[in-house]
Structure 1
Amino acid sequence: MNILAMLIQFLGGLGLFFYAINTLSDSLQKLAANKIRNILFTLTKKTWLATLFGIVMTLALQSSATSTVMVVEFVDAGFMSLSQGLNVSLGASLGTYIVIKLISLPIFGIAQGLIFCGFILYFILKRNKFKTIGQCLISFGLMFVGMTFMSNAFAPLKDMPEIYDLLHQFGSIPILGIVAGCVLTALMQSSSIFLAIMISLSVHGLLSLESIIALVMGAHIGGTLTTLISSLGAEKIDAKRVAIANTLIRIVTTILMLPFFSEFAQVVKFFSNDLPGQVANAYLFSTILMAILFLPINKFIAMALIKFIKAKAEPDAALKLKYIDSGSLNVPAVALNQAFREVRWMGQEILELMFEIIPRLLLSRNSDWIKVIEDTENKIDWHYIELSKFIANLLNQELSQEQIIQAQNIQLIAKEWEQIADRHIMLARKISKINTSNIPFTEEDIDSLYDLYTVTSNIFLKLLRGFEQRDKTIIEEITTDRKEICSLHNDLKVKIISKNVNGLAENKNIILDLENSIFRIGEHIENIALLLSY
C-alpha cells in the first residue's frame, strides 16, 4: 500500500469515527439529556454519588466535553456547588474510559450486527424514539468500522523502522510524549478520537507501553485545553473556574506521576498484556489516581477558585442576557435550561419593576414612577427579541420532539411577558393622565381599580412561585382566581357605565380603559400557566 492510499484510508476511517461519535452523542442527548437534569438532585448529594453521576452522564452523552458544559450550567444555575461540579467532572473522565475500553475490543463482527439492528429501527419503525435508538446503534457500529479502517491503514507502518523508532521516542522521553499527546488531543478537540488513533497504532505494535502512558497523560491535559481556552472569553465565572480546575488537576497529576513512570507502567502491564487494552487501562488507572488525589480535597480547591477567580463587576444599566450563552446551543438540554432561566428572570423583573410600581403610581399620583416602568418595558422588549433569536437558532439544532415543544413554549411565554409589559405602559400613561388632568375621579374609582389590580398581582405572584415546579394544580388555582377577576371586572364595568358622572364621558372611558388593561393582563397570566402545563 503506498503512502497516499494509506493516508486516504486513515482519513476515511478517522472521518467515519468522528462522524459516528458525534452522531451518537447527538442522538443520546435527545434520549438522555432531559432525564439527566431530572435525576441531578439525587445523585450529587455525596462526593461518590457526584462522581458516579459524572460517569453515568458521560456514558449517556458519549462526550466528556458535553458533560463539562452541563456541569458548568448546573453550577451556574445553583443545582450543585462548585466542589460537586468538580466531582462530576472527575467522574466524566472515568466515563470516557468505558468508551475507550469498548473500542479497544476486537468486536467488528458485532458492530456489523448493531448497524443492521439500527437500520431496522431507523428506517422501518415510525416512532421518533425508536428512530433515535436506531441512530444510536448505527453510530455505535460505525465507530468500530472507522476503527478498523484506521487500524488497517496503519498496518504498513510496522515495516518502516524510522516510524517505529519515532513513536517509541515518546516512551524513551516521557516529556516529549506528554507534549505530543497534549497538542494532538487539543488540535483534534477530542481525547476519545486521539485515543482511538493510539489503539489503531497499538494493534500493530507501533507503540510501546511507555509511549502509550506518556501519550495518555498528555491526552488528559489536552482534552481540557479547548474548554479552558473557550472559557477565557466566556462571561460565566463558573465556566472559568471549572475549566481552570480541570486543567490544573490533570497537570498536577501528570507531574506527580513522572517520578513513578516505570512503576506505573508495570501496574498497567500486570492487568493487560495486549497493547490496545493497555491504552484503555493506562487511561483508567491515571484517572483513578486523579480521583484518589483530588476527590478528598475538592471542597478546598473550590474555595480557592472562588477566592482567587472573582466575577467582574459590571454596570447594571448594560443590556445583556442574564443566563444565555450562545456556546450552549451545541448542548440543547443546557440551552433550554438557560432559556427557561432567562424567561423566569423576565417575569421576576416585571413583578419587581411593574407590578410593585403601578399601585404606588395609582395611590401616590407621583408620575416619576412612569420612567421606571418605561425603562423596564424597553428592557423586556430587548430581552424578548434576543431570546427569540436564541430560540430560533436552537430550533435549527437536532432536537427531540419534547425539546422542540419546550423551546416553542419558552418563546411563547416570553411573548406573553412582552405583552404584559406593554399593558403596563398603557396603564402607567392612563394613570398619569388622571394625575395631571382636571378630570374628576373619586376615591371609589381608584379603590376599585386598586382592588382589581391587587387580585391580578397576587395571581402573577402565584404563577412565579410555581414557575419552577410546572405543577398542573397551579393552573387549576389560577383558573379559579381568574373567575374572581372576571367577576370583579364585570361588576366594575357595570358600576362605571351606570354611574352618574355629570356628563363627563372622558372619565368613564379612562376608567374603562384602565380596567380593561388590568383584565387583559390576567388573560396573559392564564396563557402562561397553560403553557407551563405542557
Structure 2
Amino acid sequence: MCPPAGNFIGVIVQILILLGAVGLFLFGMKTMSEALQKLSGHRLRNMLTTMAGSPVRGIVASTAITALVQSSSAVTVMIVSFVNAGMLHLTQAIAMVMGANIGTTVTAWLVVLFGISFDIDLAAVPLIAFAAPLLLLRSERLRNLGNTLIGLALMLLAIHILRDAVTHFSTLSSFENYITLLRGHGHWSPLLFVLAGAAMTAVLQSSSATTALAIILCSTGVIPFKCAMALILGDNVGTTLTANIAATMTNTDGKRAALSHLLFNLVGVLWALPLLAVLARGIASLVAAFGGVSPLLNGSPSQAVALALFHTLFNVVNTLLLAGFIPQAAHALDRLIPGDRHAKRTSPLEGSALVSTSEMGLYQARENLALCMKRGGELTARVKTYFGEVNADNAQELFLLVRQRSDEEQTAYKQLEQQLARLTQQELSQEGRLLVQAMNQLLTQLRAATWLSVTAAQVIRRKKERNIWFTQPMREDLGVYFSIIQEAYFITHNNLTSDREGLPQREDRRIRMQAFLEEFSVSLEEKYLNPDDEQETHYQAAVIFAELTSCIGRLAMCVLKIAEGTAQLEQDHQ
C-alpha cells in the first residue's frame, strides 16, 4: 500500500528541513572560518611561513591553521597547490596533511561543548543579538568578531534543527528499518557505517558536518556508540575527495600530495576498524576515569564528548604512528604515480591558484608572486649566459629558451592576475584589499622587467648576427649591471619568503645598490660617449653597446624598484 499523502508530504518536509539544517551548518562554518581568517590575518600568515620547516613544524603549523580556518579540505587543497608550484617538498606536504587531520577535530569539540552540552535556544539567538550590533561599528576587527560569533550561532541553530529532524526521523519505520539493515550484518556492520560516513562526507564536502551528524545520531539514541565511531572513521576517508579532485589540475607531485592524504587516512581506518571494539572500551574507560557515564550505554550523556575524544585521539595516534615513515611514504608515492617530479609545466603557476579565499588566498598569491620573482631572476641569468655564449648553435638554442621562458612567464602573470581578481571579489579586510592592490602594482612592474629582459636578448641577438665584438672593459661593465640585477631579484624573492628580521639589512643593501647604480650609469655614459684616444671602440659596437646598456640599466633600476615595493609590502602588512 502507498503511504497516505499527508505522511508522504510530512516526510518530504522533514527531508527538506534536514538538508536545510546541513546547509545552514555549512554556511555558518564558512562564515565563521572567513571571519576568523580576517580576524587573525597576521598570526595566520606567520604560521604559514613556518610550514616549510621540519616535519614536526609542518604538523604543528597545519594543525593550528586548520583549527583556525575550520576546514581541512581548504588547507589540504592549499598544500597540494603549494607542492604543485614547487613551494613545498612532498615530504613536507605529507607532514602537513597529517596536521590538517588533527586540526579539523576542533569542530567536533565546538559541536559538543556548545551544541550538545548547553541549551542551544538559550545561547544561539542571544549570541546573534550580541554580535549583530558589532557589524555596524567602524572597527573592522569588531566587525570580524561579529561575523565570527554569527557564524558560530548559525552552526548552533543548525545543530538544534538537526537534532529535532533526526529525532523525528528516528520514529519513522522506514528510517528504523534502514538503520537496522546497517546494524544487522554482524562484523560487517562497522564497515558499512565507514562506507556510509565516507559517502556522506564526499557529498557534503565537509567532514565537520558528517562528524556533527554522527554525534547527533548517537546522542539521540538513533545509532550505538561504535557505529558512530565507524561513521567518523568514514568521514576521514571521504574528506580526501576534495583535494584529489583539485589535484587533477596539478602536476605529478601535486597528485602525489593529494594521494598521500587518502592513503594516510585509509591506513588509519585499516588499523582502527578491526580494533573498533577495543578502542570503544578504551574511550569508555577514559570517560569513566573522569567520572562520566560509559558511552557504551545507549542514551548515555557522555557519548558526544566520547566521540569528540575518539575523533581527536584517533588522528593524533595515527599521526604518531605514521610520522616516522614520511620518507618511505614519499618513495612509495613516487612508485604509485611515476613521472618526473620536476616535469615541465605549461606555466609555473598551473594549478596553483586553487585556493583563492580570504587570508589563505592572500598568502598563496604572495607565494606565487615570490615564485614569479625567482623565475624572473632565472630569466635574466639566461640572458647573461646567452650574452657570453660564443658557439652559434648553442647561442641560438639559448635565445629560443629565453623566448620560451618569457612566454611561460606571461602565462604565469595572467594566472596570478586572475587569482588576484578573484580575491578582489571576496569580502577581504581593508588590509587584505591593500595587499592585493600592492601585489597588482608589483605584477605590473614585473611584466615590465620581463619585457626588458627579452628586449636585451634581442639586442644581443643583433650583436651576434652582425659579428660585433665588445671590448673587455665593455663586457666587464655589462657584468656589473647583470650582477646588480641578480642581487636585486634575490632581494625581492627573500623579501616575500624569508624572515622579516632580515628585512632592514636587505633594504639597506638595496638602497646602496640603487645609489651605486645611478653613479655607475652616469660614469658609463661619460666613459663611452666621450672616449679617450686609447679606446678603440668601433662605431657599430658603440651603438649596440649603448642600446644594450640602456636596456640593461633600465632593467636593473626596474628590479630595484620591485625590491623596494616588496620591502614596503612586507612592512605595511606584517
TM-score normalised by structure 1 residue count: 0.84
Instruction: Report SS of the residue matched to 1:159.
Output: coil
Q: Does 1:466 align with 2:481?
A: no
Q: Does 1:340 align with 2:369?
A: yes
Deviation at 1:139, TM superposition (A): 0.7
Letter in 2 for 1:69: V
| Equivalent residues of 1:374, 1:425 under 8 A apart | yes
Q: Does 1:254 align with 2:282?
A: no
From 343, 354, 364, the counterpart of 1:327: 354
Deviation at 1:418, TM superposition (A): 2.9
Letter in 2 for 1:177: F
Distance 2:426 2:566 in 1: 23
Distance 1:396 1:180 in 2: 36
Q: Does 1:178 align with 2:205?
A: no
> What does residue 143 of structure 2 align with?
131
From 140, 152, 161, the counterpart of 2:152: 140
Distance 1:101 1:416 in 2: 47
Letter in 1 for 2:304: P
Deviation at 1:143, TM superposition (A): 0.7
Distance 1:421 1:297 in 2: 43
Q: Does 1:352 align with 2:384?
A: no
Instruction: Report SS of the residue matched to 1:205.
Output: coil
Instruction: Report SS of the residue matched to 1:39.
Output: helix
> What does residue 201 of structure 1 align with?
217
Distance 2:542 2:21 in 1: 78
From 491, 508, 525, the counterpart of 1:493: 525
Distance 2:246 2:125 in 1: 38
Deviation at 1:267, TM superposition (A): 3.2
Deviation at 1:408, TM superposition (A): 3.7
From 27, 49, 52, the counterpart of 1:19: 27
What's the CA shift string for 1:435-486, capped at 9, x where partnerless? 6669xx996xx55654543332222121222234322433333333233332
Q: Does 1:6 align with 2:22?
A: no
What's the CA shift string for 1:181-230, capped at 9, x where partnerless? 11111111111112222333334322222321222222222122332344
| Equivalent residues of 1:33, 1:61 under 8 A apart | no
Change (3 A) 1:394 1:353: farther
Map 1:57-136; keep pairs closer than 5 Å.
Answer: 57-73=65-81, 82-104=90-112, 105-107=116-118, 108=120, 109-124=122-137, 126-136=138-148
| Equivalent residues of 1:171, 1:208 under 8 A apart | no
Q: Does 1:455 align with 2:480?
A: yes
> What does residue 518 of structure 1 align with?
552
Distance 2:401 2:531 in 1: 34
Q: Does 1:530 align with 2:564?
A: yes
Distance 2:57 2:553 in 1: 49
Letter in 2 for 1:15: G
From 302, 311, 332, the counterpart of 1:283: 311
Letter in 2 for 1:290: N
What's the CA shift string for 1:306-360, capped at 9, x where partnerless? 34433347875x6423565232334404531442243123313322212343355
Q: Does 1:476 align with 2:508?
A: yes
Instruction: Report SS of the residue matched to 2:333.
Output: helix
Change (3 A) 1:121 1:412: same
Distance 1:190 1:160 in 2: 27
Change (3 A) 1:175 1:327: same
| Equivalent residues of 1:123, 1:131 under 8 A apart | yes
| Equivalent residues of 2:83, 2:257 under 8 A apart | no
Range with greater deviation from structure 2 (289-298 or 76-85):
76-85
| Equivalent residues of 1:463, 1:474 under 8 A apart | no
> What does residue 292 of structure 2 align with?
none
Instruction: Report SS of the residue matched to 2:338.
Output: coil
Letter in 2 for 1:201: L
Distance 1:455 1:198 in 2: 67
Distance 1:35 1:294 in 2: 28
Letter in 1 for 2:424: L
Distance 1:259 1:386 in 2: 47
From 415, 421, 431, the counterpart of 2:444: 415
What's the CA shift string for 1:35-74, capped at 9, x where partnerless? 3453356678666554443432221111111222243355
Distance 1:46 1:246 in 2: 18
Distance 1:288 1:313 in 2: 30
Distance 1:146 1:458 in 2: 61
Distance 1:83 1:372 in 2: 31
Change (3 A) 1:427 1:314: closer
Deviation at 1:433, TM superposition (A): 5.0
Distance 2:326 2:549 in 1: 57
Deviation at 1:145, TM superposition (A): 1.1
Distance 2:227 2:141 in 1: 43
Range with greater deviation from structure 2 (173-182 or 399-408):
399-408
| Percent identity over paired residues | 21
Letter in 2 for 1:413: L
> What does residue 154 of structure 1 align with?
166
Distance 1:434 1:228 in 2: 51
Deviation at 1:521, TM superposition (A): 1.8
Deviation at 1:21, TM superposition (A): 0.8
Letter in 2 for 1:304: A
Distance 1:304 1:223 in 2: 22
Range with greater deviation from structure 2 (46-55 or 335-344):
46-55
Change (3 A) 1:475 1:9: same
> What does residue 384 of structure 1 align with?
413
Distance 1:431 1:135 in 2: 58
Change (3 A) 1:372 1:473: same
| Equivalent residues of 2:66, 2:104 under 8 A apart | yes
Deviation at 1:294, TM superposition (A): 2.4
Instruction: Report SS of the residue matched to 2:250.
Output: coil
Change (3 A) 1:455 1:25: same
Distance 1:149 1:29 in 2: 27
> What does residue 499 of structure 2 align with?
none
Distance 1:435 1:254 in 2: 65
Instruction: Report SS of the residue matched to 1:259.
Output: coil
Distance 2:254 2:16 in 1: 38
Distance 1:378 1:50 in 2: 34
From 266, 275, 278, the counterpart of 1:263: 278
Number of residue pairs matched by the alignment: 526
Letter in 1 for 2:227: S
| Equivalent residues of 2:132, 2:150 under 8 A apart | yes
| Equivalent residues of 2:452, 2:551 under 8 A apart | yes
Distance 2:239 2:148 in 1: 24
> What does residue 258 of structure 2 align with?
243
Letter in 1 for 2:356: L
| Equivalent residues of 1:191, 1:223 under 8 A apart | yes
Give the aligned CA root-mean-square deviation in angstroms: 3.8
